[in-house]
Structure 1
Amino acid sequence: MRVGVAAVWACATALGVAAVESFNETLDLHTLPGGRVHAAFSFAMHSDDESLRHFRILPRALLQPVASLDVDAFQLTLNAGRWQYASWGAPSGSQSVANGAEVWASFGEAHRSAALPLPTRWRRLTSALAGTFCASLDAIEDTTSVTIPARYVWSDAPENTTALHAYLPSESVCTENLTPLLKLLPCKGGAGLASLIQMHTILASEFHSVSVQGYTVVLGVTSVMRPPMLPDESHVWMLSDIFSRNLTTTCPVATTSEVWVAEPNEHVASDDDDDDDDWVPSPWVRRMQTRVYDTTSLAPYGGTLALSIAAPVRGPFLKPPPLQATRQVLGFGQERNLVRLTLHNALPTETVQVVYYDQIPWKVLPLMHTLHTTLAFDPADLPEDAVSYRDDYDAPFVTASTYRPAVLRGKTGAVELVLRVPAQSTLTVTYTLLKRVLHYDEHVPDPHRGIDLPPAVFVPLATGQSMRAWAYAHRHRPVHAVQAERIYTAPSLLDIAVPDFSMPYNIILFYSTYVALFFGSLLNAMVRRFRDVVV
C-alpha cells in the first residue's frame, strides 16, 4: 500500500489511536545442487495506518527521511557473488541479485507538484540510505541514474508511475552494512532469528545480499552456503554448521516467527507436477518436502532449536528455468566491440515476451542501427503431440524498442527492447558498442582495471501457464512484497584506452635532474675561484 505523507498524518491525528503494528520474521532454508544451502532471512514490519509520528516497531531512522521526501516506495540491495539461475532457480524473498548496489525509488505523481525537484529528492534519498546502512552510495547522481517504468520493479505499480534506478556494480557487502540493518530490528541482533546472523558466516558464503524496502519495511539477508568438502552423495547440514550457533532465544515483539526447511524427498509428490511436467524431463525433477518450525516459543524444542538438512550433491533437484537469458560483451580495443544477448525458451508450445533493459553509461555508445537477431530452433526437442506454427518462428523478434541516448559527460542512457522468444528456441541479439575516448581527468582512480558496465535486466511479460507454474513451484513460501520476476546478468568489465599517466612524472623527473645538474655546474663554474695553494 502506498499512501501520501499528508494523508497518513491526517488519518493518524483524526483517529488519535495507537498504531497496530506487527513484526513477522521468517527464515527460509532450502537445499541447492552441490550440497549447498540457501538461507533467506525476511523481517517484515507493518503498521495498519503506517503511522509516521509514533514509532514502536517501525524504524524511525529509516522511515522519517524517506517520508519527508514523499517517496512512494523504494528498494536498496547490496549483493556480493553471482546467482546461478540455471542451477539454483529463482531466489527467495528479494529478487534483486545484481552484483554490487542497486537502488530503486518510486515517486508517483506527487513529485510534479512538490516543492523540491525530483533530482534533489532522489539525491537526498540515496544520501539518507547511504548514511543509514553505511554504504558508499555517493557515486549515485544525475549522471548515473535513469528513469524507467515502475512495473519493472513492482508488478502492481500503476501505469503512470515512474521509478528512478541506479547501479553501483563495484560496491560490496561488509560488516558495516549488516550491523546497521540489525539495529533497525525491534530486538536488534540479540534475540529471535536475527541472532543467527553472524558476520563471519554470512560474509564467507558463496553468495550473500542485504536488502531493504518500504513502507511496509522488509529487511532481508540472503546467503548461499557451500560445504568445505563435497561428499559423494549428500551433505548433512546442522543449524550450527550454517550459522555457528543454534537458535536459543526468541523475540517477544514478533507476531509470527517461523523457520521453513525445504529439502528433496523422492517419496513425496508435488501438487503442481501435473500442470507443467510436460515441458521438463523427469530426471531433472526431485520431489520436495517442507518442514515448518514455529519459533515464537522454543519450549516445544526443549529451549533450543537444532535441526539438520540433507543437501544432495549430484544432480539438480529444481526444474531448470523455462527462460534463461545472458549478456556478453565481446571484442577488444576501442572498436569492434559487440554486445550479445542470448535468450533460451524451454517451453514446448508457449512464446514468451521479454523486456530487455540495460543502462548505457555515457562512456560507451551503442550503435542501434547494427541490431541483428538470429533464431535457432531444434524441432527434435518438441514433444510428439506438440504443434508449432511457422509464423511464430518468423521475424521480427523485436516487437518494440525504446532508446534514450546518453548525454556526453552528462547523463546515463538506457535501452529497452521487447523481445519475442518462440517455444523451444534460442534467440540471439547483437549490436555494436563503441567506447569513447576519455579526458585524462575523467578516468577512475584505477584506470587500468577498466570501467564497469551495469548488469542487464530481463523481465518476462504475460507469462503463460507453464512459466507461472514454474515460478509458483520455486516460491514455496509467501513473500511480503509483490515484485516483478526479473533475471539479472553479470556485470561486464570493459577495457578502455588509458594514456601513460607515468609520462608526465618521467618528464618532470628528467628535466628536474637535468636542470639541477646544469644549474649546479654553471653556478660552480661562475663562482669558483682558482688559485695556487702553497703546501
Structure 2
Amino acid sequence: MPGRRWITTIISLGHAAQTFLITINSKVQHYHLFPKSLGDVLTTYKVKELHLSQTQGLWKHEKWGYPPEDAPPGDELWVWFQPHSGVDQTWADLVNALSGLFCASLNFMDSKSTVQPRWSFRPAGLASEFYSANSRFVRYSTLPREVVCTENLTPWKKLLPCGSKIGLASLLNSVKIYDGFYHSLGVHVRSVCQDTQCLTPATELKQTLTVVYDPTTNKNGKQDWSFQSMFDRTLQSQCPLADTRKIYVDVTTQETLPKFSLSPVPDFVLNQKRSGEERKIAVYQIGNHLSPSSLNLKAMYEEKLTFSNSSLPPVYANRFVTGYGLERGGVTCMIYNTMSSNTTVIFMETVPWFLRVYFSSLRIENDGKEIKPYKINFIPAKDRANPYQMELVFRLFANSVTKITYSFERAFLKWTEYPPDANHGFYVSSAVVSTVLPVASQYTATSQSVSLLEESFSDSSSSFFLRLHTETLLVSLPTPDFSMPYNVICLACTVVAIAFGSLHNLTTRDFTASDPSKRKGLVAKLKSFFKKEKESPENKPDSKEEEIPSQKDKDNSKSEEKDSKKKDGNSET
C-alpha cells in the first residue's frame, strides 16, 4: 500500500516549504499500484535505478538549510542500468522514452552532455560492492536551460495511484504552485528490501514535490499561511488506497522565530532525534479532520516578521564565473565548512566541450595554501562529442572556506550550433558536492537505509549522506551578427527589384512618338471642362432679348474706331 505524506517546514526569512511525498513498494510486474507506463519503460530498457528531477529556481542552502531532495535548476537524470553491453544505445533509447512520458526535452541528453560519474553517484538502493564500483553502468546528464511548467506537472500527477482529484494530490493547484519561489518535481526508483531479512527485493517508487512560498508578500509582513491562501483550495478527501495519510508540520522554529498557532489543533506532537539534534513535529491524521467539513490547515502568527541571522548549515557551496571579454575566462567555487571538524568531499564538475578547460590551471586552496586532492578523475572533452568531466576528492578543514578555481578558453561554434537567442548565453550545469555529515543539523532528507518518513524520525545513525548542487552558470560566447544576413538580403532584394523593374520596362514596353497637341494634361482637361460648361445652352442668353451695352463697352468701341482711322490714313500716305 502506498503512503501519502504532506510536510510543512517553516524556513527562515518568512518562507514556508511544502513537500508532498508518496512512496510505493511493490514488484514491477504488479501494476495494481505501480504505474504501468513507468514500469514498462524500466523493464524494456533494463533500468535498475532511476532518479529524475525537474526544478525551477534555486534552493538557497545557506538560508533555507537542506531540502528533502536536493536538485539543480533544470532537468537532472541519472540512471543505473543492469549489467549488459550497449549501455550507450540503451541510454539514448531511454531518454527518448522518458521525454515522451514526462513531456520534457530529455531527448537532448545526448553524448555531448552525458558523463559516467566514478564516485559521486553510487546506487541508492540494493547493489553489490562490485556493481557499485563499476561506473560503466551509470549515466548522468542535465539540462540546465530546461523550463519546468504545467505540462511537466500533468504527467507527474498521472503516476499517482489515486490521481490528482482526490486526497492530498487535490491540493496541487498548478496556478499556485508555479507562483512560488522554488518548485521541484522528483521521481525516484530503486531496489529495496521487502522484509526485514531482505530475502525478497522490491521496487520502491518515490514521488516528491517541493514548493517554497513567501506568505509575507500578501499578508502585510505577516507570515500567516493556510491551504486556502497557498493553493486556493482546501483538503476535502483522502486517498482510499493509501495506508498512511498524514500531514507533518515542523514546529521547531516556534522557539526562535515569531510564535504561531496552528488551526486546527494537531493530533499530537512527536520529537525527532537525529544525532543529538531534536526537532518537534506536529502530526495530523487526515481522517480525523475531514468530517463534517474540509480541512484548511492554518498557521497564525502573533506579530510581523522580524529578520534575524539564520544559522548556517554544516556544508554549502557557491559558484560563479570569473574573467572578462570573450576569449578567456574562469570558474570559481567556494565550499564552506562551518563544522568544528574536518570532512572529506567529492567535487564533480561537467563542462561543455566549447569551454576548453586548462587542467594545468586547476587550483584547490584553503586560507591561501594549496591543497593536494586525494583522487582526481579528469576526462578531457572531444569537440562536438563529449563534455569535460572532473571529479576531485579532497578534505575540507574545520571552520574554513575552500576555493576551487580553473581557467577555460571559449571556442568558436558553427553558425548552425547556436541556440535561439544566442546572445542570452550558454548554460553550464551545476557542480555536485557530495559528503558525509557527522551531524544532522538542518538535515531533512530521508536516510538511504529507510523507505518511510516515519522511520527517519527515530534514526540513530551517526553519519548522514549529503549531496548538494551549486548554481548554474551563464557564459557568453563569441556570437556572430545574425541580423547581418537579413540586412544583406533586404539590400540585395531592393537593388535587384529596382534593376529588374527598369530592364522589364525596356524590354516589354513599345515606345512611340505622340502628337503634343493631342496630349492633354490635367490643367488642359480642367479648362476644357469649364469651357464646355460656359457654352452649354442653359448659360447662353435669349436671342429675342436685346443686349444693352454698358458705358465701358461704348468707350472701348470709340477708341477702336479712332485707331482704325489712323491706320487707314497712314496706309494712304
One fold, TM greater than 0.5?
Answer: yes
Change beyond 3 A, Cα 1:68–1:397:
same
Q: 2:54 aligned to 74, 78, 81, which one?
A: 78
Q: Which region of structure 1 is more displaced relative to structure 2, 267-276 or 133-142?
A: 267-276
Counterpart of 1:165 in structure 2: which amino acid? Y
Change beyond 3 A, Cα 1:248–1:532:
closer
Q: 2:313 aligned to 300, 308, 321, which one?
A: 321
Q: Shift in Å at residue 374 of structure 1?
A: 3.0
Query: Partner of 1:149: helix, strand, or coil?
Result: coil
**1:144-191 per-position Cα deviation (integer Å, ceiling 9, x unaligned):** 211113752545654324321111111122111111121211210111
Contact 2:237 2:290 in 1 (8 A): no
User: Aligned partners of 1:299, 1:85: CA distance in 2, in Å?
Assistant: 34
User: Aligned partners of 1:408, 1:496: CA distance in 2, in Å?
Assistant: 15
Contact 2:236 2:290 in 1 (8 A): no
Change beyond 3 A, Cα 1:269–1:516:
closer
Name the structure 2 match of 1:243.
231
Q: Shift in Å at residue 304 of structure 1?
A: 2.8
Q: 1:160 aligned to 123, 128, 133, which one?
A: 133
Query: Partner of 2:108: helix, strand, or coil?
Result: coil
Q: 1:407 aligned to 351, 376, 382, which one?
A: 382
Change beyond 3 A, Cα 1:526–1:479:
same
Q: Which region of structure 1 is more displaced relative to structure 2, 362-371 or 225-234?
A: 225-234
Number of residue equivalences? 472
Q: 2:493 aligned to 499, 509, 512, which one?
A: 512
Query: Partner of 1:120: helix, strand, or coil?
Result: helix
Q: Which region of structure 1 is more displaced relative to structure 2, 510-519 or 161-170?
A: 510-519
Change beyond 3 A, Cα 1:300–1:521:
closer
Name the structure 2 match of 1:372.
363
**1:492 has 2:473 as partner:** yes
Q: 1:100 aligned to 59, 74, 83, which one?
A: 74
Q: Which region of structure 1 is more displaced relative to structure 2, 497-506 or 231-240?
A: 231-240
Q: Shift in Å at residue 271 of structure 1?
A: 7.4
Contact 2:120 2:434 in 1 (8 A): no
Change beyond 3 A, Cα 1:480–1:452:
farther
**1:470 has 2:425 as partner:** no
User: Aligned partners of 1:210, 1:218: CA distance in 2, in Å?
Assistant: 11
Counterpart of 1:366 in structure 2: which amino acid? V
**1:306 has 2:296 as partner:** yes
Q: Shift in Å at residue 401 of structure 1?
A: 1.5
**Aligned counterparts, 1:246-285, within 5 A:** 246-263=234-251, 264-266=253-255, 275=276
User: Aligned partners of 1:190, 1:128: CA distance in 2, in Å?
Assistant: 26
User: Aligned partners of 1:511, 1:265: CA distance in 2, in Å?
Assistant: 72
**1:387-423 per-position Cα deviation (integer Å, ceiling 9, x unaligned):** xxxxxxx643433221111110112221111232211
Name the structure 2 match of 1:390.
none
User: Aligned partners of 1:259, 1:189: CA distance in 2, in Å?
Assistant: 17
Name the structure 2 match of 1:26.
5
Q: Shift in Å at residue 302 of structure 1?
A: 4.2
Name the structure 1 match of 2:352.
361
Give me the TM-score of the superposition, normalised by structure 2: 0.76
Identity %: 28
Contact 1:333 1:496 in 2 (8 A): no
User: Aligned partners of 2:366, 2:404: CA distance in 1, in Å?
Assistant: 9
Q: Which runs of 5+ in 1 are unaligned?
A: 1-21, 277-286, 378-393
Give me the TM-score of the superposition, normalised by structure 1: 0.81
Contact 1:198 1:244 in 2 (8 A): yes
Contact 1:397 1:421 in 2 (8 A): no
**1:341-369 per-position Cα deviation (integer Å, ceiling 9, x unaligned):** 11121112x11211111111111111110
Change beyond 3 A, Cα 1:160–1:169:
same
**Aligned counterparts, 1:49-60, within 5 A:** 50-52=27-29, 54-60=30-36
**1:335 has 2:327 as partner:** yes
Query: Partner of 1:216: helix, strand, or coil?
Result: strand
Q: Which runs of 5+ in 2 are unaligned?
A: 190-202, 257-268, 457-463, 519-573
Q: 1:440 aligned to 415, 419, 436, which one?
A: 415
Contact 1:404 1:413 in 2 (8 A): yes
Name the structure 2 match of 1:289.
280
User: Aligned partners of 2:309, 2:35: CA distance in 1, in Å?
Assistant: 39
**1:275-312 per-position Cα deviation (integer Å, ceiling 9, x unaligned):** 57xxxxxxxxxx853101122x2467645323223578
Change beyond 3 A, Cα 1:243–1:253:
same
**1:244-293 per-position Cα deviation (integer Å, ceiling 9, x unaligned):** 222210111101111100122329998769957xxxxxxxxxx8531011
Contact 2:173 2:231 in 1 (8 A): yes
Name the structure 2 match of 1:386.
none
Larger radius of gyration: 2
**1:212-262 per-position Cα deviation (integer Å, ceiling 9, x unaligned):** 111411111110011153768852212222222222101111011111001
Contact 1:452 1:493 in 2 (8 A): yes
Name the structure 1 match of 2:548.
none
**1:46 has 2:15 as partner:** no
Q: Which region of structure 1 is more displaced relative to structure 2, 154-163 or 192-201?
A: 154-163
User: Aligned partners of 2:254, 2:509: CA distance in 1, in Å?
Assistant: 98
Contact 1:266 1:288 in 2 (8 A): no
Change beyond 3 A, Cα 1:475–1:56:
closer
- What value does the CA root-mean-square deviation take over the aligned residues? 2.9
Contact 1:230 1:313 in 2 (8 A): no
Counterpart of 1:226 in structure 2: which amino acid? D
**1:219 has 2:207 as partner:** yes
Change beyond 3 A, Cα 1:127–1:73:
same
**Aligned counterparts, 1:386-465, within 5 A:** 395-460=370-435, 462-463=436-437, 465=438
Q: Shift in Å at residue 372 of structure 1?
A: 2.4
